[in-house]
Amino acid sequence: MPATFYFDHNATTPLSSEVLRAMCAALEEVYGNASSIHRHGQAARQRLEAARRQVASLLGGSAKEIVLLSGGTEANNLALFGIARSGDHVVTTAIEHPAVLNPCARLEEQGVAVTYVAPGSDGRVAAEDVRRAMRRNTTLVSVMHANNETGAIQPIEEIARIAHEGGALFHVDGVQAAGKVPVKVSALGVDLYSVSAHKLHAPKGIGALYVRQGVHPRPLLLGGHHERDRRAGTENVPGAIAFGVAAQEAAAHEGGEAASLRDRLEQGILDRVPDVAVNGSREHRLPNTTNLRFDGVEGEAMVIALDLRGFAVSSGSACSSGAVEPSHVLLAMGLTAEQARSSVRFSLGRGNTAEQVDALIEATAEAARHLRRVSTYSHA
C-alpha cells in the first residue's frame, strides 16, 4: 500500500501536534464544569474564556461576541433560524453549503421567503444581483465567504454594505475562509460569521458563531444560561481549548506556501494532462484550492485511482460524498451535469510539500491516461 499524501484539507484537516497535546492535557486535567463555582469549575472557566479570546483574535472580534458551539453547521443554523421569522425574506446564493441551503429550505416551509442568487461562470456572486434580490421585508442576507468546492471568494464587504443599506443583517459562512485568508469581521462589515475548528487542524465537534454586539439571534437550544443565553448546554471545554490553540496557530500560518504550491500543482496538471480546465475564478479564490475538470473522465473514478496511488483528493463537498447527483455548485456556475461529474477538487494544507505536489502531478497524469483508455465516459 503506497504512503498516503493528503490533498483534501477543505473536507477536514489532521490535528496539529500542538493542538493534540493541548487537548489531551485538557481532557486529563481540566475536567470541571465551567459553570461550577469551586476551583475545578473556575479553572475550566478560565481556560474556556482564554480559548474564546483566541478565536475572537483570529476573527478580529471581541470575546463576548463569540458563541462556542458544535461546529459550522450549528453556527449556520443558529444564524438563520435565530434571525428569520415567518413572513420575513432571506437572500442567499445557489452555491452555499448544505448547512445553509437545507435550513433555508426548512425556513421556506415555515413561511419565510428565500431568494437564491446565482453565481457567474467564475463561481462568484455579483453584489448587484444581491441588491436586486432584496425586498422591503428582507431581514437577513447569508453569503459564504469562500466556496468549499471551487475556493471562489465572494465580494463580502460590498454585499455587507448592500445588506445594511436595505436594513438587513448579514451572515457569512466563513468555515472555509477563516485561517486561509485574513478575516476581520469589523472591516468586512458582517453581523454573524460561522467558523469550524476541524478546518483549522483542531478536532471535530467544536466551532463558533461570531455575533456582533447588539445582534440577538433566538437560541436553538434551551436550557441553562450558557454562552450568554445564546447556546444552552455544558461547554465542551477540551474542544474549546483545542480550538483556541488552532486559531492561534492559524493566525501565524495564514497564507503560507499554499498559493505557490497550488499554482505548481494546477499548472503541472494543465501542462501534463490534455483536456483539463479550471472551474471557477483563478484570481478571486482561496490560496489552497483548485477545482479541475477532466473531460472524458469520471471524477469519482479519478478520486479512486489517485487513492490507489496514495493521494487523497475529492470529487466535491465532503458532505455530498457518495451522492449520485452532480455538484450543485458547478451546475449553478453553468457546467453541464457531465462536466460537473468530471471535476475533482484538490485542497492543500500545511503538511504538503513541493515533492508531494510533483508526485501528485505524475500520478494524476498516469490516472487520466489509464481512465481515458478504459472508460466509455464521453467527452463533455
User: pLDDT tens digits, residue range 228-287?
Assistant: 999 999 999 999 999 999 999 999 887 668 999 999 999 999 999 999 999 999 999 999
Under 8 Å between Cβ of 39 and 29: no
Query: For residue 166, is pLDDT > 90?
Result: yes
- pLDDT per residue as tens digits for the range 80-130: 999 999 999 999 999 999 999 999 999 999 999 999 999 999 999 999 999
Segment 36-46 mean pLDDT:
97
User: First CA to last CA across the chain, in angstroms?
Assistant: 33
| Cell numbers at 366, concatenated | 498516469
Long-range CB pairs of 167-170 (<8 Å, 24+ gap) are 167/138, 168/91, 168/134, 168/138, 168/139, 168/140, 168/141, 169/83, 169/139, 169/140, 169/141, 169/215, 170/140, 170/141, 170/142, 170/143
The domain limits of the chain are 5-14+255-374
Residue type, 202: A
pLDDT at residue 155, rounded to an integer? 98
Greater model confidence, 153 or 254: 153
Query: For residue 322, is pLDDT > 70?
Result: no
Neighbours of 215 (CB within 10 A): 16
Segment 136-162 mean pLDDT:
98
Per annotation, catalytic residue among 94, 113, 259, 319: 319
319 is catalytic: yes
Cα 353 from chain centroid? 23
Q: What angle do CA 247, 153, 316 make, to 5 degrees?
A: 85
pLDDT at residue 380, rounded to an integer? 43
- pLDDT per residue as tens digits for the range 66-78: 999 999 999 999 9
What are the phi and psi torsion angles at 309 (to 5°)? Answer: -90, 0
The CATH architecture to which 5-14+255-374 belongs is Alpha-Beta Complex (3.90)
Under 8 Å between Cβ of 60 and 183: yes
| Cell numbers at 39, concatenated | 476551583
pLDDT at residue 325, rounded to an integer? 83
Neighbours of 229 (CB within 10 A): 11
324 — pLDDT class (breaks 50, 70, 90): low
pLDDT at residue 175, rounded to an integer? 98
Under 8 Å between Cβ of 149 and 329: yes
pLDDT at residue 253, rounded to an integer? 80
What is d(CA 157, CA 162) in angstroms, rounded to the nearest whole number?
9
